[in-house]
Amino acid sequence: MPNPSTLASNSPRLNKAWFESWFDSPYYEEIYNHRDLSEAKEFILQLTTTLALPITAQILDLGCGWGRHTRSFAELGYTTTGLDLSPRLIAKAQENFIQPNNPISDRMKFCIGDMRDFQLNTRFDAIVNLFTSFGYFDDADQDLKVLRNAHRHLKENGFLVLDYFNKEAVCMQLNESEYRQGPKFNTKISRTFEDGHLLKSIEIIHPDSAHSNEVFTEKVRCYEPDELRDLLTLSGFEVQQHWGNYQLSPAEHNSPRCILLARPTNCPAT
């Protein structure tokens, strides 16, 4: 298996952010295994058809995870780069999807990098940030850095697709506590709102006493759609579409998703 390119700093960190610990854990993939390749294929086909992206388009999957959307773009014929901060997830993407002498694999590459400051020598026709891969930082200015860095890597006539949860729908339907039994471990999940963030506590419960229980956290800022629009405007984008689900239906107040399509308008403010 080829080694993924390392774009992020290799300096050790004593206090890792929640997303560094959680996404690089072996449990993350099990918790979200219902978000599979078939689901990704349906959405990416709908998206590329709606945008009428030419087959020559180069695409950046920003926050690609284990690469299910990257793979879906490549299967349709697009040249796609998947970038993620998690070495574990990038290694999984490499293992699953990169095979020698495979034309689909030849259209994909994966690399490790921080969304805020990665540097690639490419301007893309489209950048996608999917499955709520945004809003992870305590300081909202860090989210602006993500969008401004995306702006720098996008062609003047390119597309940015930002896929986020719809705060109003989450508030109405919040499942505060659930317990899942699995073949390898059990999981207790608790959800709450705190200081403008959606917090999810994930306790990994091992059936055997040889392993201690482990607790991970997800902490995502609860942006309203208008707040996301404002961030995009500050970053040099103009929002052109607002969809409410992965079928790209028009957004409503109770839609499960907030999917924004934006295009560059000018240089972002500094």
Q: Are residues 67 and 83 in the same domain?
A: yes
Q: Are residues 163 and 175 in the same domain?
A: no
Q: Are residues 107 and 96 in the same domain?
A: yes
Q: How many domains does the chain have?
A: 2
194, 201, 193, 196: which is closest to 217 by C-alpha? 201
Q: Are residues 179 and 252 in the same domain?
A: no
232, 204, 227: which is closest to 216 by C-alpha? 204
CA-to-CA dists, residue 48 to 12, 177, 199, 222, 258, angstroms: 39, 36, 32, 28, 18
Q: Are residues 258 and 185 in the same domain?
A: no
Q: Are residues 115 and 162 in the same domain?
A: yes
Q: Are residues 181 and 134 in the same domain?
A: no
CA-to-CA dists, residue 30 to 22, 33, 146, 183, 204, angstroms: 12, 5, 27, 10, 11
Q: Are residues 178 and 234 in the same domain?
A: no
Q: Are residues 74 and 147 in the same domain?
A: yes
Kindly list the averaged pLDDT for each block of 10 residues, start to end, along the chain of length 270. 40 70 89 82 97 96 96 98 96 95 96 97 97 95 97 96 96 92 91 94 86 91 97 97 97 96 73
Give pLDDT tens digits for 235-259. 999 999 999 999 999 999 999 999 9
pTM: 0.90
Give pLDDT tens digits for 63-80. 999 999 999 999 999 999
Q: Are residues 60 and 134 in the same domain?
A: yes
Residues with Cβ within 8 Å of residue 21, at least 6 apart in sequence: 216
Q: Which CATH number belongs to the domain containing residue 127 in this structure?
A: 3.40.50.150
- Domain span holding position 255: 15-167+225-264
Distance CA 231, CA 238 (A): 10
For residue 8, being part of any structural domain is answered with no
**The one-letter amino acid at 229:** R
Question: What is the DSSP pairing of strand 124-129 with strand 154-165?
Answer: parallel
